[in-house]
Chain A
Amino acid sequence: MTVRIATMGMAGCSGCHIALLDTGVALLDLLKDVELVYSYPVVDTKNPIPPNIDVALIEGSIRTDHDQEMAKAMRKQTKFVIAFGACSAHGGVNGLANTFNAQEGVEYVYHKTILMAQKVVPHENVPQVLPADLRLSDVVKVDFVIPGCPPHPDEIAKVITTLLAGETPQLSKKSICDECPLERLTEIPDQLRRTHEIPEPEKCLLSQGFLCMGPATRAGCNAECTRRGMPCTGCRGPSETVWDQGVAMLDALAAMEEDQVANFKLPRLASTFARYTYASSKLDNLRKGVQKP
């Protein structure tokens, strides 16, 4: 029996769909048992969503009322909904828009940017922007999350294979450091360093002063960035026990001695500590007071 799979894109960059293609040869194996019934790169998605979908991979965050409606429609037809990628799972980079007022943002785009000379906010026959960026689970019940910006192709393949075998997939409960091969140092850095600086190879980036989000971020990506000397930006969201990714990292830094922290200049807190999770962070929930369905 073939498994009916759908994919869908909301507010996102289609990077997750590209990551799906990036599963490479594994994709060929998967497609043997799979019928792709609805997927905007290959199927005309203006059609109504077909019924009896087994698995839906939904990319992107919920930014407009259209996104919200589509997510609900997809949920109705689908047995197993997967939040696919960081935007869908945690709100993603889009979520940083929640640090601004949504309506002011729309007006800025249509009034002040050069391309929009007509200075009119379109309102007829276009989706309306929601007051805040939401993750998929704020709108519909989500059965599983594949985090990452984009998700790791190996993990995508693993999750789908597991599902096809009739089993429940599992995410790693540990943090990136668990997979990271760099040598852990116990000394505390005397200053923070920016990503354009060259780190010492083979040594923990955080202890060299790079703001690596690895400790608070869920493992499963094989620490692809840090093993190449690029500090983790936290795209996979909080690890299993972490309450709030950004707060956990801030806490870790704040616990250092006063004179050490004094040297730290932390620019743009939200985009540094909650780059992919701001929309689902506790602080944003408090601030926006959005009624979630």
Chain B
Amino acid sequence: MTSEEPRIGVFVCKCGTNIAKVVDVPAVAEYAKDLPNVAYSGWQLFTCSEEGQNIIKDHIKKHKLNRIIVASCSPKLHEPTFRRTVMEAGINPFFFEMANIREHVSWAHMKQKDEYDEATQKAKDLVRAAVFRASQLESIGSTTQKVPPVCMVIGAGIAGITASTLLADEGYEVHLVERSPALGGKAAQLGFVFMTDTCGVCVPPRHGEMARKCLSKRVILNDPKIHVYTQTEVKHFGGYIGNFQAKLETQPRGVDIDTCTLCGKCIEVCPVEVPHELDFGFGNRKAIYLPHPQAVPRSPVVDFKNCTKCGKCVEVCPVDAIHLDEQSKSTDLTVGTAIVATGFDVFEPTGLYQYGENPNVILQLALARLMDPLGPTDGKLIRISDKKPPKHVGMIQCVGSRDPEYYSHCSRVCCQVAIKHAVYIKEHWPDTEVTIFYKDIRLQGKEYERYYLKAQKLGVNFHRADITDVKETPNKGLKLAVEHHNGDKETVNVDLLVLSAAMTPAEGAKELAHTLNMEVDLKGFFREYHLKLAPVDTTTDGIYLAGACSSPRDIAEASFMGAAAASHAAIPMSKGEVQVDLAKSIVDESLCIGCANCYAVCPYSAIYMEGGVAKIIEVACKGCGICVVECPAEAIQLRHYRDKQIYSQIEGLLANVGATKK
């Protein structure tokens, strides 16, 4: 097909007035008629409409066109549309070429009326470049890749659990990998959560059930479709959609989950006490402990870092569930798709507002633990320094968030958390005064406003103010220098200061991104394929994002996103295969010198070395072209963007340079 004489059809689009207001569209269409190999040229009002597409098909038949150019919007928008159109007319989709005369021309010059003539000229130049390139295009086929119905979910917080249970309900096999010893993520550590004031370990209802389920009811552990790996990290990850290879490393738990009855005897006898990482210095735990009261799996875990291996727990265990000589083990998985749901961490504001210096300056997470009926103080609100209930609780918002020095983003949940805690305090200890110092209150979400009004009604003080200074008072209280946004200044004394610290990327997120070969943004959150249109997709086919690993999110959003990621992951798995076009890099093995530069730079691990030459896994290749550029022997070419195709486009673009410049 490539050898036949090119017969190019040019279709210039007015896009209503989007293009036509600036560019003289009929003149561009008229101009294109005289360009080399152009057999037809015309214009439409909306080329992308059903009608416009049919006109393309008609002209393909009438003029025996074999290369199609549409001069309209960005290829990002409608290239897939028109590729389908020409395919339906029996032409290889890679014989379609697009000239962007909207984003690159009419929109760019919309505001300068005196530039309209030049804009028309620019549109002509772009069409001419497309015509030159179209003559050089080649027919490109596609291949299929099988996708097994197996998904790996990394992170067992709200998002990961939602995705896992949905996928399992849809009949897919799920490998749920969690780094910590317990499921539920950060939400499970909270006594009660925003809006519903229920505990944080609810999971969505299973298929056919109306009521939500409690994570603690072992629904996930008992599901035959879900394989849970706690204390496990992904050590290696490679491959491509349909054939991802993962190597997991599981740290020893020391306790057999299935035989343990959670009688608690082992915890009683353990002689080692260390501070509980969950309790921010309130309480201690043993070296064998339950990660938190509602932890799932419901069995203690041995902290091998602090365990002295005295063996007392082994002696008292009535069911012989404890094995102190357990070793770490590794598991190899082959999965079709993967979902990353690694969540977030909380910013440590050490040095800010005397955090870390005064024990009565705490984080919201610590306050949540204090008020948790199952927490270290049995739900009593007391200060750490004197174990007395505070009379006045102050809360400072946006600590580390919306602050160019730390994290410029809004952490999304802090307003909700602070108001939830303020309401809880007011409801349980009405005499306690609560003051929230905020920059803006940002509460958008179903029923959120109602909660805000409730807080105001209960008498929570809302001060729109900055705290410019914090001083310690004799009783370990805090004296705040408050600068209101209206200019007023005052000092406020509080007994307990709670900081609403920023949500940050989870610890180790960058390393995981490196292992998975994924992109992170400047702050270290995982990067989605498109902020608005593809928030759960990533640049790697078959890997999806859920929850706060890509941006701060609240529980409701994390569960939406878990469901969205599950539905996206299910698409290739339900079809059982993916169609992959072959507009990918190809190696001329006779020129390849085996330097492995391409292998080293490929961001998608799509290249391997065999027999001294580079080979490309076409399914994994994304056609980014890095290998083409770095190859010192120039033995690699990218189909659809071969050197000759790009050069001819440039040649076309510059062909008239002398004529336009007078």
Q: Which residues of A contact B (CB under 8 A)?
A: 173-175, 177-178, 184, 186, 188, 206-207, 214-216, 239-243, 248-249, 251-252, 254-256
Decide if A255 touches B597 in the complex (CB within 8 Å).
yes
Chain A hits for B576, CB < 8 A: none
Q: Which residues of B contact A (CB under 8 A)?
A: 588, 590-591, 593-597, 599-601, 609, 612, 626, 629-635, 643
Decide if B601 touches A248 in the complex (CB within 8 Å).
no
Decide if B597 touches A252 in the complex (CB within 8 Å).
yes
Complex Cα distance A3/B187, Å? 91
Q: A177-B633, A186-B609 are in contact. Are A255 and B601 (CB under 8 A)?
A: yes
Residue from B596, B601, B626 within 8 A of A186 (CB atoms): B596
Residue from B595, B629, B630, B634 within 8 A of A242 (CB atoms): B634
Q: List 30 A-B contacts (CB under 8 A).
A: A173-B590, A173-B591, A174-B590, A174-B591, A177-B633, A184-B593, A184-B594, A184-B595, A186-B595, A188-B600, A206-B595, A215-B593, A215-B632, A215-B633, A216-B634, A239-B634, A241-B588, A241-B633, A241-B635, A242-B632, A243-B634, A243-B643, A248-B631, A248-B632, A248-B633, A254-B630, A255-B626, A255-B630, A256-B600, A256-B601
CB distance from B624 to the nearest CB of A (A): 12
Known A184-B593, A239-B591; 20 more pairs at CB < 8 Å: A173-B590, A173-B591, A174-B591, A177-B633, A184-B594, A184-B595, A186-B600, A206-B595, A207-B595, A215-B595, A216-B634, A241-B588, A242-B633, A242-B634, A248-B631, A251-B631, A252-B630, A252-B631, A255-B630, A256-B600
Nearest chain B residue, comparing its CB with the CB of A184: B594
Decide if B634 touches A248 in the complex (CB within 8 Å).
yes
CB distance from B653 to the nearest CB of A (A): 16
Complex Cα distance A178/B599, Å? 19
Decide if B629 touches A251 in the complex (CB within 8 Å).
yes
Nearest chain B residue, comparing its CB with the CB of A260: B600
Decide if B594 touches A177 in the complex (CB within 8 Å).
yes
Chain A hits for B634, CB < 8 A: 216, 239, 241-243, 248
Residue from A178, A188, A243, A254 within 8 A of B593 (CB atoms): A178
Residue from B599, B601, B626, B633 within 8 A of A216 (CB atoms): B633
Chain B hits for A241, CB < 8 A: 588, 591, 633-635
Decide if A252 touches B594 in the complex (CB within 8 Å).
no
CB distance from A253 to the nearest CB of B (A): 9
CB distance from A170 to the nearest CB of B (A): 14
Q: A177-B593, A206-B595, A239-B591 are in contact. Are A252 and B600 (CB under 8 A)?
A: no
Chain B hits for A243, CB < 8 A: 634, 643
Nearest chain B residue, comparing its CB with the CB of A215: B632
Complex Cα distance A239/B588, Å? 13
Chain A hits for B609, CB < 8 A: 186
Complex Cα distance A207/B595, Å? 9
Chain A hits for B632, CB < 8 A: 175, 215-216, 242, 248-249, 251-252
CB distance from A246 to the nearest CB of B (A): 11
Complex Cα distance A254/B631, Å? 11
Complex Cα distance A188/B598, Å? 12
Complex Cα distance A273/B601, Å? 21
CB distance from A114 to the nearest CB of B (A): 43
Decide if B612 touches A184 in the complex (CB within 8 Å).
yes
Decide if B633 touches A251 in the complex (CB within 8 Å).
no
Complex Cα distance A188/B632, Å? 14
CB distance from A1 to the nearest CB of B (A): 38
Nearest chain A residue, comparing its CB with the CB of B627: A255
Chain A hits for B593, CB < 8 A: 174-175, 177-178, 184, 214-215
CB distance from A101 to the nearest CB of B (A): 26
Complex Cα distance A175/B635, Å? 10
Q: Most A CB atoms within 10 A — which of B601, B629, B631, B634?
A: B634
Complex Cα distance A173/B589, Å? 12
Chain B hits for A206, CB < 8 A: 595
Chain A hits for B643, CB < 8 A: 243
Complex Cα distance A252/B595, Å? 10
Chain A hits for B590, CB < 8 A: 173-174
Nearest chain A residue, comparing its CB with the CB of B594: A184
Chain A hits for B597, CB < 8 A: 252, 255
Q: Most B CB atoms within 10 A — which of A240, A243, A249, A255?
A: A255
CB distance from B605 to the nearest CB of A (A): 14
CB distance from A167 to the nearest CB of B (A): 22
Complex Cα distance A255/B609, Å? 18
CB distance from B524 to the nearest CB of A (A): 17
Complex Cα distance A241/B595, Å? 16
CB distance from B288 to the nearest CB of A (A): 43
Chain B hits for A251, CB < 8 A: 629-632
Nearest chain A residue, comparing its CB with the CB of B628: A251
Chain B hits for A239, CB < 8 A: 591, 633-634
Chain B hits for A178, CB < 8 A: 593
Complex Cα distance A255/B599, Å? 11
Chain B hits for A173, CB < 8 A: 590-591
Complex Cα distance A254/B591, Å? 21
Nearest chain B residue, comparing its CB with the CB of A238: B634
Complex Cα distance A239/B631, Å? 12
Chain A hits for B588, CB < 8 A: 241
Chain B hits for A256, CB < 8 A: 600-601
Chain B hits for A186, CB < 8 A: 595-596, 599-600, 609
Q: Most A CB atoms within 10 A — which of B588, B597, B633, B634?
A: B633
Decide if B633 touches A175 in the complex (CB within 8 Å).
yes
CB distance from A263 to the nearest CB of B (A): 16
Complex Cα distance A243/B600, Å? 22
Complex Cα distance A77/B633, Å? 37
Decide if A177 touches B630 in the complex (CB within 8 Å).
no
CB distance from A43 to the nearest CB of B (A): 42
Nearest chain B residue, comparing its CB with the CB of A255: B630
CB distance from B245 to the nearest CB of A (A): 20
Nearest chain A residue, comparing its CB with the CB of B629: A251
CB distance from A120 to the nearest CB of B (A): 41
CB distance from A226 to the nearest CB of B (A): 12
Chain B hits for A184, CB < 8 A: 593-596, 612
Chain A hits for B595, CB < 8 A: 177, 184, 186, 206-207, 215, 252
Q: Most B CB atoms within 10 A — which of A216, A241, A256?
A: A241
Complex Cα distance A100/B590, Å? 39
Chain B hits for A215, CB < 8 A: 593, 595, 632-633
Chain A hits for B591, CB < 8 A: 173-175, 239-241
Complex Cα distance A186/B609, Å? 10
Complex Cα distance A28/B543, Å? 69
Chain A hits for B626, CB < 8 A: 255
Nearest chain A residue, comparing its CB with the CB of B609: A186
Complex Cα distance A51/B588, Å? 44
By Cβ-Cβ distance, the 5 closest A-B pairs, closest first, are: A255-B630, A215-B632, A177-B593, A186-B596, A252-B632
Q: Most A CB atoms within 10 A — which of B590, B631, B632, B635?
A: B632
CB distance from B477 to the nearest CB of A (A): 49
Complex Cα distance A206/B632, Å? 12
Complex Cα distance A242/B635, Å? 8
Complex Cα distance A184/B596, Å? 9
Complex Cα distance A207/B594, Å? 12
Nearest chain B residue, comparing its CB with the CB of A216: B632
Q: A178-B593, A186-B596, A215-B595 are in contact. Are A255 and B633 (CB under 8 A)?
A: no
CB distance from B19 to the nearest CB of A (A): 33
Residue from A175, A216, A255 within 8 A of B629 (CB atoms): A255
Chain A hits for B599, CB < 8 A: 186
Chain B hits for A207, CB < 8 A: 595
CB distance from A147 to the nearest CB of B (A): 16
Chain A hits for B612, CB < 8 A: 184
CB distance from B33 to the nearest CB of A (A): 33
CB distance from B598 to the nearest CB of A (A): 8
Complex Cα distance A172/B242, Å? 41
Complex Cα distance A206/B626, Å? 20
Chain B hits for A249, CB < 8 A: 632
Complex Cα distance A241/B637, Å? 10
Nearest chain B residue, comparing its CB with the CB of A247: B629
